Amino acid sequence: MIPTDRFAIILIAAGLMIGFAGWFAPLMPAGAALAALTLVLAVADWLRLAGQGRPEVTRTVDDKLSLGAGNLVTLRVRNWSYSRLSGTIRDEYPQDFTAHGNVIDIDIAPRSEADVTYHVTPPHRGDFEFGDAYLRLRGPLGMLVGQIKYAMRREVKVYPNILDLRRYEIGLRRERAVQPGQRVARVHGRGTDFESLRDYLPDDEFRAIDWKASARSSKLISRQYQEERSQNVMILLDCGRVMGPVIESLSRLDASINAALMLAHVAAIKGDKVGLMAFGEEIQAYSPPKAGKSQTLNLLGMTYNLRSASGDSDYYRAFPFFARKWTRRSLVVIFTELIDVEASKPLISQISSLTRKHLCMVVAMADPAVLAAANREPHTTEDAFQSAAAKQVIQARKLAAAQLTRAGAIVLDVPPNQFTPAVVNQYLRVKSTARL
Protein backbone atom coordinates (compact mmCIF):
# COMPACT_ATOMS: atom_id res chain seq x y z
CA MET A 1 0.00 0.00 0.00
CA ILE A 2 1.27 3.48 -0.91
CA PRO A 3 0.01 6.68 0.84
CA THR A 4 -1.44 9.25 -1.52
CA ASP A 5 -0.68 12.97 -1.70
CA ARG A 6 -3.99 13.64 0.01
CA PHE A 7 -2.99 11.46 2.96
CA ALA A 8 0.38 13.23 3.24
CA ILE A 9 -1.11 16.74 3.01
CA ILE A 10 -3.75 16.09 5.69
CA LEU A 11 -1.21 14.44 8.00
CA ILE A 12 1.22 17.36 7.54
CA ALA A 13 -1.61 19.80 8.31
CA ALA A 14 -2.40 17.89 11.49
CA GLY A 15 1.27 17.98 12.49
CA LEU A 16 1.45 21.74 11.91
CA MET A 17 -1.63 22.27 14.04
CA ILE A 18 -0.06 20.29 16.86
CA GLY A 19 3.21 22.16 16.41
CA PHE A 20 1.57 25.58 16.72
CA ALA A 21 -0.46 24.52 19.76
CA GLY A 22 2.09 26.34 21.98
CA TRP A 23 0.82 29.66 20.62
CA PHE A 24 -2.82 28.66 20.40
CA ALA A 25 -3.84 25.81 22.73
CA PRO A 26 -7.08 24.73 20.95
CA LEU A 27 -4.98 23.64 17.97
CA MET A 28 -3.69 20.65 19.95
CA PRO A 29 -6.96 18.67 20.20
CA ALA A 30 -7.97 19.73 16.67
CA GLY A 31 -4.65 18.53 15.24
CA ALA A 32 -4.81 15.27 17.18
CA ALA A 33 -8.38 14.65 16.01
CA LEU A 34 -7.38 15.37 12.38
CA ALA A 35 -4.44 12.98 12.62
CA ALA A 36 -6.62 10.28 14.14
CA LEU A 37 -9.27 10.79 11.45
CA THR A 38 -6.62 10.54 8.73
CA LEU A 39 -5.39 7.24 10.13
CA VAL A 40 -8.93 5.92 10.40
CA LEU A 41 -9.65 6.83 6.79
CA ALA A 42 -6.39 5.22 5.71
CA VAL A 43 -7.31 2.01 7.53
CA ALA A 44 -10.73 2.09 5.87
CA ASP A 45 -9.06 2.42 2.45
CA TRP A 46 -6.68 -0.42 3.31
CA LEU A 47 -9.54 -2.71 4.28
CA ARG A 48 -11.48 -1.85 1.13
CA LEU A 49 -8.50 -2.43 -1.16
CA ALA A 50 -7.57 -5.68 0.60
CA GLY A 51 -11.14 -6.89 0.24
CA GLN A 52 -11.16 -6.32 -3.52
CA GLY A 53 -8.78 -9.18 -4.10
CA ARG A 54 -6.40 -9.36 -7.07
CA PRO A 55 -7.84 -8.31 -10.43
CA GLU A 56 -6.75 -10.35 -13.45
CA VAL A 57 -4.59 -8.65 -16.10
CA THR A 58 -3.63 -10.16 -19.46
CA ARG A 59 -1.65 -8.68 -22.34
CA THR A 60 -2.33 -9.38 -26.02
CA VAL A 61 0.38 -8.53 -28.55
CA ASP A 62 1.58 -10.22 -31.74
CA ASP A 63 4.66 -12.39 -31.51
CA LYS A 64 5.86 -10.75 -34.73
CA LEU A 65 5.86 -6.96 -34.67
CA SER A 66 6.31 -4.69 -37.66
CA LEU A 67 9.31 -2.41 -38.02
CA GLY A 68 8.55 1.32 -38.06
CA ALA A 69 4.80 0.81 -37.63
CA GLY A 70 2.42 1.34 -34.73
CA ASN A 71 1.76 -2.15 -33.31
CA LEU A 72 -1.30 -2.62 -31.14
CA VAL A 73 -0.95 -3.80 -27.54
CA THR A 74 -4.12 -4.68 -25.59
CA LEU A 75 -4.37 -5.02 -21.81
CA ARG A 76 -7.50 -6.73 -20.47
CA VAL A 77 -8.39 -6.06 -16.83
CA ARG A 78 -11.02 -8.29 -15.15
CA ASN A 79 -12.63 -7.05 -11.94
CA TRP A 80 -13.86 -10.10 -10.00
CA SER A 81 -14.90 -8.11 -6.91
CA TYR A 82 -18.26 -6.60 -6.03
CA SER A 83 -16.85 -3.05 -5.77
CA ARG A 84 -15.81 -0.57 -8.42
CA LEU A 85 -12.20 -0.63 -9.60
CA SER A 86 -10.47 2.71 -10.13
CA GLY A 87 -6.80 3.31 -10.78
CA THR A 88 -4.01 3.27 -13.33
CA ILE A 89 -2.29 0.49 -15.24
CA ARG A 90 1.25 0.78 -16.63
CA ASP A 91 2.85 -1.66 -19.03
CA GLU A 92 6.61 -2.11 -19.48
CA TYR A 93 7.36 -2.14 -23.20
CA PRO A 94 10.84 -2.89 -24.68
CA GLN A 95 13.35 -0.19 -23.83
CA ASP A 96 14.20 0.92 -27.38
CA PHE A 97 10.57 1.15 -28.51
CA THR A 98 8.55 4.31 -28.85
CA ALA A 99 5.18 4.01 -27.10
CA HIS A 100 2.07 6.16 -26.87
CA GLY A 101 -0.33 5.77 -23.96
CA ASN A 102 1.16 2.85 -22.02
CA VAL A 103 0.02 4.48 -18.72
CA ILE A 104 -3.77 4.29 -18.76
CA ASP A 105 -6.49 5.24 -16.28
CA ILE A 106 -9.13 2.58 -15.64
CA ASP A 107 -12.59 2.64 -14.09
CA ILE A 108 -14.25 -0.78 -14.15
CA ALA A 109 -17.67 -1.68 -12.80
CA PRO A 110 -18.06 -4.63 -10.38
CA ARG A 111 -17.92 -8.12 -11.90
CA SER A 112 -16.91 -6.86 -15.33
CA GLU A 113 -13.85 -6.40 -17.55
CA ALA A 114 -12.39 -3.74 -19.82
CA ASP A 115 -9.79 -3.59 -22.59
CA VAL A 116 -7.29 -0.74 -22.77
CA THR A 117 -4.91 -0.31 -25.69
CA TYR A 118 -1.77 1.52 -26.73
CA HIS A 119 0.73 1.31 -29.60
CA VAL A 120 4.46 0.61 -29.76
CA THR A 121 6.79 1.46 -32.65
CA PRO A 122 9.98 -0.63 -32.95
CA PRO A 123 13.07 1.26 -34.21
CA HIS A 124 14.88 -1.73 -35.73
CA ARG A 125 14.55 -5.45 -36.39
CA GLY A 126 15.56 -8.14 -33.88
CA ASP A 127 14.55 -9.79 -30.60
CA PHE A 128 12.96 -7.76 -27.80
CA GLU A 129 11.09 -8.37 -24.55
CA PHE A 130 8.05 -6.85 -22.89
CA GLY A 131 8.39 -6.50 -19.12
CA ASP A 132 5.89 -6.63 -16.27
CA ALA A 133 2.63 -4.75 -15.84
CA TYR A 134 1.75 -2.67 -12.76
CA LEU A 135 -1.75 -1.92 -11.53
CA ARG A 136 -2.36 0.87 -9.03
CA LEU A 137 -5.80 0.86 -7.39
CA ARG A 138 -7.09 3.97 -5.62
CA GLY A 139 -8.91 3.58 -2.33
CA PRO A 140 -12.44 5.03 -2.31
CA LEU A 141 -11.44 7.67 0.27
CA GLY A 142 -8.27 8.63 -1.61
CA MET A 143 -5.87 7.91 1.25
CA LEU A 144 -4.03 4.85 -0.06
CA VAL A 145 -3.10 3.30 -3.39
CA GLY A 146 -2.58 -0.42 -3.70
CA GLN A 147 0.08 -1.50 -6.21
CA ILE A 148 0.06 -4.95 -7.78
CA LYS A 149 2.83 -6.31 -9.97
CA TYR A 150 2.01 -8.79 -12.74
CA ALA A 151 4.84 -10.97 -14.05
CA MET A 152 4.17 -10.77 -17.79
CA ARG A 153 7.57 -10.90 -19.45
CA ARG A 154 7.27 -11.94 -23.07
CA GLU A 155 9.70 -12.11 -25.96
CA VAL A 156 8.71 -10.69 -29.34
CA LYS A 157 10.42 -10.47 -32.70
CA VAL A 158 10.47 -7.37 -34.87
CA TYR A 159 10.18 -8.14 -38.58
CA PRO A 160 10.02 -5.92 -41.66
CA ASN A 161 6.68 -4.17 -41.91
CA ILE A 162 4.23 -7.07 -42.16
CA LEU A 163 1.29 -4.85 -41.12
CA ASP A 164 1.40 -3.17 -44.52
CA LEU A 165 1.35 -6.56 -46.23
CA ARG A 166 -1.86 -7.46 -44.42
CA ARG A 167 -3.41 -4.00 -44.66
CA TYR A 168 -3.01 -3.51 -48.37
CA GLU A 169 -3.59 -6.99 -49.78
CA ILE A 170 -7.21 -6.27 -50.69
CA GLY A 171 -6.31 -2.76 -51.84
CA LEU A 172 -3.59 -4.05 -54.12
CA ARG A 173 -6.02 -6.48 -55.73
CA ARG A 174 -8.14 -3.44 -56.62
CA GLU A 175 -5.11 -1.34 -57.60
CA ARG A 176 -5.59 0.93 -54.65
CA ALA A 177 -3.14 2.59 -52.28
CA VAL A 178 0.08 0.92 -51.19
CA GLN A 179 0.47 3.60 -48.55
CA PRO A 180 -2.12 5.81 -46.84
CA GLY A 181 -3.25 8.59 -49.16
CA GLN A 182 -1.35 7.33 -52.19
CA ARG A 183 -2.65 5.38 -55.15
CA VAL A 184 -0.96 2.85 -57.34
CA ALA A 185 -0.63 4.47 -60.75
CA ARG A 186 -2.80 3.10 -63.53
CA VAL A 187 -0.42 2.40 -66.37
CA HIS A 188 -1.87 2.03 -69.83
CA GLY A 189 -0.41 -0.69 -71.99
CA ARG A 190 -1.05 -4.31 -72.70
CA GLY A 191 0.33 -7.68 -71.82
CA THR A 192 1.29 -10.32 -74.31
CA ASP A 193 -0.87 -13.22 -73.09
CA PHE A 194 -4.06 -13.56 -75.17
CA GLU A 195 -7.15 -13.77 -72.97
CA SER A 196 -10.32 -13.42 -75.07
CA LEU A 197 -12.16 -11.67 -77.92
CA ARG A 198 -14.68 -8.89 -77.44
CA ASP A 199 -16.48 -6.20 -79.40
CA TYR A 200 -14.29 -3.35 -80.61
CA LEU A 201 -14.41 -0.15 -78.56
CA PRO A 202 -13.46 3.33 -79.83
CA ASP A 203 -10.54 3.51 -77.37
CA ASP A 204 -8.98 0.23 -78.56
CA GLU A 205 -5.65 0.29 -80.38
CA PHE A 206 -5.90 -0.35 -84.09
CA ARG A 207 -3.44 -3.24 -83.83
CA ALA A 208 -5.71 -4.99 -81.32
CA ILE A 209 -8.36 -5.69 -84.00
CA ASP A 210 -8.67 -9.37 -84.94
CA TRP A 211 -9.47 -9.15 -88.67
CA LYS A 212 -10.38 -12.81 -89.14
CA ALA A 213 -12.87 -12.75 -86.26
CA SER A 214 -14.20 -9.40 -87.53
CA ALA A 215 -14.77 -10.88 -91.01
CA ARG A 216 -16.66 -13.86 -89.61
CA SER A 217 -18.95 -11.75 -87.41
CA SER A 218 -19.35 -8.79 -89.82
CA LYS A 219 -18.30 -6.36 -87.06
CA LEU A 220 -15.06 -5.25 -85.54
CA ILE A 221 -13.69 -7.60 -82.89
CA SER A 222 -10.74 -6.80 -80.62
CA ARG A 223 -8.29 -9.13 -78.95
CA GLN A 224 -8.07 -8.75 -75.19
CA TYR A 225 -4.76 -9.43 -73.51
CA GLN A 226 -3.75 -9.97 -69.91
CA GLU A 227 -0.53 -9.40 -68.07
CA GLU A 228 1.94 -12.25 -68.26
CA ARG A 229 2.22 -14.39 -65.16
CA SER A 230 5.05 -16.49 -63.75
CA GLN A 231 7.64 -13.89 -64.65
CA ASN A 232 10.73 -13.61 -62.50
CA VAL A 233 11.50 -10.80 -60.05
CA MET A 234 14.85 -10.86 -58.26
CA ILE A 235 15.52 -8.47 -55.37
CA LEU A 236 19.14 -7.57 -54.60
CA LEU A 237 19.66 -5.92 -51.20
CA ASP A 238 22.84 -3.95 -50.61
CA CYS A 239 23.73 -4.38 -46.92
CA GLY A 240 26.94 -2.35 -47.00
CA ARG A 241 27.82 0.53 -44.68
CA VAL A 242 26.13 3.11 -46.96
CA MET A 243 22.77 1.55 -46.02
CA GLY A 244 23.26 2.15 -42.29
CA PRO A 245 22.37 5.87 -41.91
CA VAL A 246 18.93 6.59 -40.44
CA ILE A 247 16.51 8.76 -42.42
CA GLU A 248 13.21 9.70 -40.80
CA SER A 249 13.45 7.04 -38.04
CA LEU A 250 14.46 4.11 -40.30
CA SER A 251 17.83 3.16 -41.72
CA ARG A 252 18.16 2.96 -45.49
CA LEU A 253 18.44 -0.81 -45.14
CA ASP A 254 15.27 -1.11 -43.04
CA ALA A 255 13.30 1.08 -45.45
CA SER A 256 14.63 -0.95 -48.38
CA ILE A 257 13.63 -4.23 -46.72
CA ASN A 258 10.10 -2.89 -46.09
CA ALA A 259 9.80 -1.85 -49.75
CA ALA A 260 11.31 -5.13 -50.96
CA LEU A 261 8.81 -7.18 -48.95
CA MET A 262 5.90 -5.12 -50.27
CA LEU A 263 7.20 -5.63 -53.82
CA ALA A 264 7.46 -9.38 -53.20
CA HIS A 265 3.91 -9.43 -51.84
CA VAL A 266 2.50 -7.57 -54.85
CA ALA A 267 4.44 -9.78 -57.26
CA ALA A 268 3.06 -12.89 -55.54
CA ILE A 269 -0.49 -11.54 -55.96
CA LYS A 270 0.27 -10.89 -59.64
CA GLY A 271 1.39 -14.50 -60.05
CA ASP A 272 5.11 -13.80 -60.48
CA LYS A 273 8.05 -15.61 -58.95
CA VAL A 274 10.18 -13.67 -56.49
CA GLY A 275 13.69 -14.26 -55.15
CA LEU A 276 16.13 -12.32 -53.01
CA MET A 277 19.86 -11.94 -52.50
CA ALA A 278 21.41 -9.89 -49.68
CA PHE A 279 25.04 -8.94 -49.93
CA GLY A 280 27.66 -6.76 -48.32
CA GLU A 281 31.29 -7.64 -48.10
CA GLU A 282 30.06 -11.25 -48.41
CA ILE A 283 26.88 -12.89 -49.70
CA GLN A 284 24.55 -12.90 -46.69
CA ALA A 285 21.47 -14.64 -48.05
CA TYR A 286 20.16 -16.08 -51.31
CA SER A 287 16.82 -17.52 -52.41
CA PRO A 288 15.99 -18.16 -56.09
CA PRO A 289 12.66 -16.90 -57.45
CA LYS A 290 9.64 -18.96 -56.39
CA ALA A 291 5.90 -18.43 -56.71
CA GLY A 292 3.26 -18.12 -54.02
CA LYS A 293 2.69 -16.23 -50.80
CA SER A 294 4.76 -18.80 -48.91
CA GLN A 295 7.79 -17.31 -50.65
CA THR A 296 6.94 -13.91 -49.17
CA LEU A 297 7.02 -15.48 -45.71
CA ASN A 298 10.30 -17.17 -46.59
CA LEU A 299 11.82 -13.81 -47.59
CA LEU A 300 10.42 -12.27 -44.41
CA GLY A 301 12.38 -14.79 -42.38
CA MET A 302 15.51 -14.21 -44.45
CA THR A 303 15.48 -10.46 -43.88
CA TYR A 304 14.54 -10.62 -40.18
CA ASN A 305 18.10 -10.36 -38.86
CA LEU A 306 19.96 -8.67 -41.73
CA ARG A 307 22.34 -5.98 -40.55
CA SER A 308 24.31 -3.36 -42.47
CA ALA A 309 28.00 -4.23 -42.77
CA SER A 310 30.83 -2.07 -41.47
CA GLY A 311 32.56 -2.02 -44.84
CA ASP A 312 31.71 -1.35 -48.49
CA SER A 313 29.70 -3.87 -50.48
CA ASP A 314 31.65 -6.03 -52.91
CA TYR A 315 29.76 -5.69 -56.22
CA TYR A 316 32.54 -7.58 -58.02
CA ARG A 317 31.68 -10.61 -55.90
CA ALA A 318 27.90 -10.20 -55.57
CA PHE A 319 26.82 -9.60 -59.19
CA PRO A 320 28.87 -12.44 -60.76
CA PHE A 321 27.57 -14.72 -57.99
CA PHE A 322 24.00 -13.79 -58.93
CA ALA A 323 24.72 -14.22 -62.66
CA ARG A 324 26.01 -17.75 -62.02
CA LYS A 325 23.15 -18.76 -59.72
CA TRP A 326 20.29 -17.37 -61.82
CA THR A 327 20.35 -17.24 -65.62
CA ARG A 328 16.69 -16.71 -66.60
CA ARG A 329 15.64 -13.24 -67.70
CA SER A 330 14.20 -11.34 -64.75
CA LEU A 331 13.33 -7.96 -63.39
CA VAL A 332 16.30 -7.34 -61.07
CA VAL A 333 15.52 -4.72 -58.41
CA ILE A 334 18.66 -3.46 -56.67
CA PHE A 335 18.22 -1.53 -53.43
CA THR A 336 21.38 0.49 -52.82
CA GLU A 337 22.66 4.03 -52.30
CA LEU A 338 23.99 6.52 -54.85
CA ILE A 339 26.78 8.91 -53.82
CA ASP A 340 28.67 10.03 -56.91
CA VAL A 341 30.05 8.58 -60.14
CA GLU A 342 33.38 7.59 -58.58
CA ALA A 343 31.79 5.79 -55.61
CA SER A 344 29.26 4.11 -57.92
CA LYS A 345 31.85 2.80 -60.41
CA PRO A 346 31.66 -0.81 -59.10
CA LEU A 347 27.84 -0.75 -59.39
CA ILE A 348 27.91 0.86 -62.85
CA SER A 349 30.50 -1.54 -64.23
CA GLN A 350 28.74 -4.64 -62.92
CA ILE A 351 25.23 -3.59 -63.85
CA SER A 352 26.31 -3.18 -67.47
CA SER A 353 26.81 -6.93 -67.66
CA LEU A 354 23.46 -7.66 -66.00
CA THR A 355 21.42 -5.46 -68.36
CA ARG A 356 22.47 -7.62 -71.34
CA LYS A 357 20.15 -10.35 -70.04
CA HIS A 358 17.96 -8.79 -67.36
CA LEU A 359 15.81 -5.70 -66.93
CA CYS A 360 17.46 -3.88 -64.01
CA MET A 361 15.96 -1.32 -61.65
CA VAL A 362 18.21 0.57 -59.21
CA VAL A 363 16.40 2.04 -56.19
CA ALA A 364 17.97 4.63 -53.87
CA MET A 365 16.53 6.78 -51.10
CA ALA A 366 16.99 10.55 -51.29
CA ASP A 367 17.55 12.36 -48.00
CA PRO A 368 14.76 14.95 -47.40
CA ALA A 369 17.15 17.03 -45.26
CA VAL A 370 19.53 17.40 -48.23
CA LEU A 371 16.65 18.27 -50.56
CA ALA A 372 15.36 20.86 -48.08
CA ALA A 373 18.81 22.42 -47.65
CA ALA A 374 19.24 22.70 -51.43
CA ASN A 375 15.88 24.47 -51.83
CA ARG A 376 16.20 26.72 -48.76
CA GLU A 377 16.88 30.38 -49.37
CA PRO A 378 20.14 31.23 -47.54
CA HIS A 379 20.15 34.06 -45.01
CA THR A 380 23.61 33.56 -43.53
CA THR A 381 27.01 32.43 -44.74
CA GLU A 382 26.47 29.06 -43.10
CA ASP A 383 23.09 28.68 -44.87
CA ALA A 384 24.74 29.48 -48.20
CA PHE A 385 27.46 26.90 -47.58
CA GLN A 386 24.91 24.22 -46.62
CA SER A 387 22.78 25.00 -49.68
CA ALA A 388 25.80 24.80 -52.01
CA ALA A 389 26.95 21.52 -50.45
CA ALA A 390 23.44 20.03 -50.73
CA LYS A 391 23.18 21.02 -54.39
CA GLN A 392 26.56 19.45 -55.03
CA VAL A 393 25.43 16.19 -53.41
CA ILE A 394 22.22 16.16 -55.48
CA GLN A 395 24.12 16.85 -58.70
CA ALA A 396 26.59 14.06 -57.94
CA ARG A 397 23.70 11.63 -57.40
CA LYS A 398 22.10 12.71 -60.68
CA LEU A 399 25.34 12.09 -62.58
CA ALA A 400 25.63 8.61 -61.04
CA ALA A 401 21.97 7.91 -61.92
CA ALA A 402 22.60 9.10 -65.50
CA GLN A 403 25.51 6.67 -65.82
CA LEU A 404 23.30 3.82 -64.64
CA THR A 405 20.56 4.83 -67.08
CA ARG A 406 23.08 4.81 -69.94
CA ALA A 407 24.07 1.32 -68.79
CA GLY A 408 20.47 0.24 -69.41
CA ALA A 409 19.00 0.40 -65.91
CA ILE A 410 15.82 2.04 -64.62
CA VAL A 411 16.78 4.40 -61.78
CA LEU A 412 14.52 5.50 -58.92
CA ASP A 413 15.91 8.10 -56.50
CA VAL A 414 12.99 9.04 -54.28
CA PRO A 415 12.42 10.39 -50.73
CA PRO A 416 11.15 8.11 -47.91
CA ASN A 417 7.46 9.05 -48.22
CA GLN A 418 7.44 7.91 -51.88
CA PHE A 419 9.84 5.01 -51.54
CA THR A 420 7.57 1.94 -51.43
CA PRO A 421 4.88 3.34 -53.80
CA ALA A 422 7.53 4.26 -56.38
CA VAL A 423 8.98 0.74 -56.38
CA VAL A 424 5.59 -0.97 -56.65
CA ASN A 425 4.33 1.42 -59.32
CA GLN A 426 7.43 0.90 -61.43
CA TYR A 427 7.01 -2.87 -61.17
CA LEU A 428 3.37 -2.57 -62.28
CA ARG A 429 4.44 -0.30 -65.12
CA VAL A 430 6.98 -2.88 -66.30
CA LYS A 431 4.33 -5.61 -66.26
CA SER A 432 1.67 -3.59 -68.04
CA THR A 433 4.04 -2.60 -70.84
CA ALA A 434 5.39 -6.15 -71.23
CA ARG A 435 9.01 -5.04 -70.92
CA LEU A 436 10.05 -8.42 -69.56
Rounded mean pLDDT of 207-230?
Answer: 74
Sorting pLDDT into bands at 50, 70 and 90, what band is 196?
low
Task: For residue range 138-161, list pLDDT tens digits in order.
Answer: 877 777 788 889 999 999 998 888
Confidence of residue 294 (pLDDT cuts 50, 70, 90): confident
Task: Enter the pTM of the model.
Answer: 0.71
Output the pLDDT for position 206: 67
Q: Read off the pLDDT of each residue in 268-277 and give the average, rounded to a whole number.
A: 92
- The rounded percent of the chain whose pLDDT value lies above 90 is 40
pLDDT tens across 29-47, in order? Answer: 888 888 888 888 888 877 7
Rg (CA), the chain: 32
pLDDT value of residue 187: 41
Residue 307, CB half-sphere, CA atoms under 13 Å: how many?
5
